[in-house]
Structure 1
Amino acid sequence: MLIAFIVGFIIALIGCILSFVTGNWYISFGISIVMAIISVLVASVFKNFSLILTARVRSENKKKGKELLELEAYSRILTLFALPNIIIAVFLYFKLFS
């Protein structure tokens, strides 16, 4: 899971380097916002599928299956991927629009 955070940080860093080179910080803001929104939306989809499967598993009195645990893991991974992009986006929002 640390790898997902590092990859998210690298993407945010690439956006910052591109913005620094071009002198246009809106590029980094756009990259961070898009990556964060996509990651959070996909993570929420995985989490919702996980909740639906949990309800079905409870109604059938079964143990949690492998696919349920995988969906929860993907949700956590995508959330960690989005975290550095959210931090950069919030920082740039206050830098650019205040």
Structure 2
Amino acid sequence: MQDTTDFEVWIEDNEPDGYEEIYTLYRSVAEREDNGIWAVTTNGDKTFVTGPTSTLQLLSEKARRTFLNAVEALKSDPEMDMESWYGYERNMANSKA
């Protein structure tokens, strides 16, 4: 497993797919906790996000916030905040909703 500080390369390599994986990636980095397939560790201001194929090194709080913005850009509706978008997508996927 390789490490990188490049958001775009890491996202491409780990391919968060669908609303569940995008949402759990966002929540795991925002909360600095493991969530779904994403493992998160911290060391001071540094955050390390491990996905299925590699680890992303976010070496500052600014890098972590910038990465969260990059994950937000993966949403299918850029006008909605992450929580609203996730709720909408989850309800649309539920045939009983």
**When the two structures are superposed, what TM-score results if normalisation uses the length of structure 1?**
0.35
Which has a greater percent of strand?
A: 2
Q: Which has the higher contact order (CA 8 A, sep 6+)?
A: 1
**When the two structures are superposed, what TM-score results if normalisation uses the length of structure 2?**
0.35
The higher radius of gyration belongs to: 1
